[in-house]
Amino acid sequence: MRPFQPLVLVALAIPVLSETHYLYSGFFSGSTIVGLEFDDATLTLTLENNITTQATSGSKWIALDEQKQNLYVATTGYFQSYALTTNGSLSYSSQVALSSNCTNTNFISTSPSTPYTVFGTPYSTSCPTLAISVSTTGALQSALTNVTYDATAGVHGTSLSPASDFLYSADDMGNAVWTHSFNSTTGTAVQLQRLSAPSGANPRHLATHPNGRWVYVVYEELNQLATYERDVQTGLLTDANTTYPLIPAAYTNTSSYWADEVLFSIPSSDANSTSPKYLITGTRSRTTSSSGYISAFALDASSGAITEQLFLIPSTGSGGSANAVSPAPFGEQYFAITDSGSNFVEVWRIDEDGKSAESVAHLDLGNGPANVVWVS
């Protein structure tokens, strides 16, 4: 285990029990990553740090390690790692280069337990996901293996099983969902399953329930959320053939939208960590003048099954290429949204009754944000 040294970024104001929270946002272009602060008492979002990185062609996806000591960055041609500094900045550590025709880095999944393997995916035809080893401080070291697909595949998102012994891949170009087993001792992956998705679905991102019984998949092209049952022993998936709309059901212009992200809310530290309350999704509109959509689902506390689609409401903007939702670690009702159509980050809050949500803090930026990660 690596030593755990939480960053001192939380300030308690008196007499109101307010807390500030720190988050990083990546961008689709440029070399800047920003550090933002959200104050949950005044509901304000402020830009604290403009950080110049060595990610010269954008930071299209960013991910934190389990200890929140390292930020992993997907930039064209490389997966890079940066150590978080106590002043909210980033210090470059290392990078792993990709093969010449698989340089379009788009997604990163991190293992929550030792040996903390990092999985990085370039989005181009037939490109593998790289399983990357990390040092004792969490810096990226080298590719352990290629998690391979087939000639038609173009994987956009991945999700690990709770014990990091299975990797699920959303194959947007090949219209499928893949299952591989992963042995962290040998650093090897074995292909177990390729499930074709319904015609025109195009799986983009997916999320494995922390109890291991479900994988929820965003069908980008159909603008639907699909449910897959997971066998907790074999890791194999079965399409439950149940979907939910991620744009209003009456809309026939599905090609004007492209559904994007799905993530679980994060239970507070005193709650059952295998039982998140919400599943939250973001859908982008392809026209900057039309809004995208945000939806949330209620999950059964013991099985993790979806019990109800709580709401499906317009986002503030189109989302651009983003509308990436990022649930907050300090309260299950909070999540952030990035919009690269109108260049802003917002923090949203789900209402007490769970039936709606709204933006509670908005910050305009000079560039198009991709996704954010919460440090505190």
Ligand X SMILES: *[C@@H]1O[C@H](CO)[C@@H](O)[C@H](O)[C@H]1NC(C)=O
Token couple for 228? 């897959």
In the shown chain, the binding pattern of residues 206 to 225 toward ligand X, with x for contact by CB under 6 A and - for none, equals -----x--------------
Q: How far is the CB of 337 from ligand X (least distance, A)?
A: 17
Using the rule CB under 6 A, is 241 a contact of ligand X? yes
From the list 4-12, 215-223, 284-292, 324-332, the region that binds ligand X by CB under 6 A is 284-292
Strands 166-171 and 176-183: antiparallel
Candidates 146, 191, 309, 359; binder of ligand X (CB under 6 A) is: 146
**Residue nearer to ligand X on the CB measure, 316 or 349:** 316
C-alpha closest to that of 166 among 140, 131, 135:
131
* 109 alpha carbon, distance to own chain's centre: 8
Q: How far is the CB of 75 from ligand X (least distance, A)?
A: 18
SS3 label, residue 255 = helix
Using the rule CB under 6 A, is 302 a contact of ligand X? yes
**Residue nearer to ligand X on the CB measure, 294 or 349:** 294
Using the rule CB under 6 A, is 290 a contact of ligand X? yes
Dihedral sign of CA atoms 56, 59, 63, 69 in order: positive
Token couple for 194? 């390729």
Q: 269 Cβ partners below 8 Å, 6+ apart?
A: none
The strand order across the sheet containing 61-64 reads 61-64, 70-75, 78-84, 90-97
Using the rule CB under 6 A, is 186 a contact of ligand X? yes
Token couple for 142? 């080298």
Rounded distance between C-alpha atoms, residue 257 and residue 251, angstroms: 10
Using the rule CB under 6 A, is 50 a contact of ligand X? yes
From the list 8-16, 17-25, 239-247, 307-315, the region that binds ligand X by CB under 6 A is 239-247
In the shown chain, the binding pattern of residues 323 to 362 toward ligand X, with x for contact by CB under 6 A and - for none, equals ----------------------------------------
In the shown chain, the binding pattern of residues 55 to 94 toward ligand X, with x for contact by CB under 6 A and - for none, equals ------------------------------x-x-x-x---
Rounded distance between C-alpha atoms, residue 153 and residue 156, angstroms: 10
Is residue 29 classed exposed, middle or buried when 0-12, 13-18 and 19+ CB atoms within 10 A define those classes? Answer: middle
Which residues are near ligand X by CB under 6 A? Answer: 47-48, 50, 85, 87, 89, 91, 99, 101-102, 126-128, 143, 145-146, 183, 185-186, 211, 238-241, 251, 253, 256, 272, 274-275, 285, 287, 290, 302, 366
